Structure 1
Amino acid sequence: MTTDDHADDHIATGRTTAVQDATAPTAALTTAHTATYTAAPTLAHAEITDAAALTELLGEPQPRAWTKERTELTDIDRDWLAMSPFCFLATADSDGRCDVSPKGDPAGRLVHVLDGHTIAIAERPGNRRADGYRNILANPHVGLNFVVPGRGDTLRINGRARLVSDAPFFDDMIVKGHRPVLAVVVHIEQIFFHCSKAFLRSGLWQPESWRPDDLPRRAMIADRVENTDMTLGELDDHYGERYHEKLYRG
């Protein structure tokens, strides 16, 4: 979430991502980036419409895929949460329309463990759309996936969430002087570790696979597709040093 109403900063992350750094070289908007694609002809799809057909196609899961689930945090889970600086929060509204939002803070400050069945995640200054939070007000069911840099496995937590505007534990979630004004409190209903195959297949943590400069920088994306009234120069200024200085200032 972002620092002003002119631009959508949901994807803003660290300064190592050249796409978002105004000081990074301008990536050319090549034909590959701007090509207009026509829809493919309608094809006959072999659609799966029930669980039995899905199981027949994929096979039965190994027993451990079910037995690894639990409802209470272990010491390993707590250590993982303390080491995780980043997670995804999935929500859905009352009609089932979904949203996934990234959440990030320094490791040890992203998650506050209230007890073995309850965690909290702070809200930081953003663009105030609050898509996921509005969903929680309508439908409390959430899914979380906690990432540790360099690790392929992730910790998944599913449960029921509520929004809290103040609590004593907010004092333990202060980062760079910012005390949150809102936190998501999640009562854990399901917790388990997800295997590393997706990360291994993607090569996500392999720097030689990273090509951030092949995409236009963040200001150019806003200029081209986000219907903003700011000029490209103003956007470059917004996403430059000033942007990184205001991560914890509203």
Structure 2
Amino acid sequence: MASEEKSGNSIVETIKTVVYALLIAGVFRTLFFQPFWIPSGSMKETLLIGDFLFVNKMAYGYSYASCPSLPFAGVDAEDLCGFLKNDNNRIWGGEPERGDVVVFRHPVSGVDYIKRLVGLPGDTLQVKNGVIILNGKPVPQEPDGIFTETNAPQGPQGRRPGCENGPVALGAVCEKPRFVETFPNGTSHKILNIADLPADNTAVFRVPEGQFFFMGDNRDNSADSRLAQVRGGVGFVPYENLIGRADRIVFSSAGASMLYFWTWRGDRFLKGVH
């Protein structure tokens, strides 16, 4: 009888431990980190379709966009903290740095985007022949070989990549020129640029106070601040719309489902985002 009672207590304690662990994980996830799955190729090769990462909410503090959410209950951050919207302030706000890879909420559609922070408040920017002119000075780009990938449907949406050596047959090697871009603060990152497209030559932008200018690393495949919101782009992004900084890839899968273990990219697990 005693052994049965002991066994019953053991089961109860195990259930309690699991429940507590789930509660702690839920609090940890809603307060400090937000999961994000890369759905498009706009940040190649820094981020690939199928990369799974956690966004650091603590980096910039909290606003209506980064407020804790309850996704399992269908409750969005804006549902809980919508009263904070339109004041463009943050609680425990931290200052973003040029070169950060940031998840933010689109100012019009409310969809979550991930891009690289290029322009800070007060900056002037222009893109000429694919080169950023920042406050009147070109941002250096150094050739860094060729980025290659298979020309095949990628991710759940089945999108095929753009190729400089295209048109390329399905299953053939797709190539893109790669460059290392270095900002004035010393941070460097890799970018891809296939051809001279309209977004590679822009007007001069002046970033308003309290707003930011973002671009994708895959320059010819990114709807970003180079295009106004009314033209399908992002335009300037208010401070309050920032959700957090992408610091590390946790998991990566090249397949249409994360369950397809044979498509997992083991070399990208726990990889830092730069």
- For normalisation by structure 2, the TM-score amounts to 0.24
Identify, as 1 or 2, the structure richer in helix.
1
Between the two structures, name the one with larger relative contact order (CA 8 Å, sep ≥ 6): 1
Return the structure number with greater strand share: 2
Q: Which has the larger radius of gyration?
A: 2
TM-score (ref. length: structure 1): 0.26
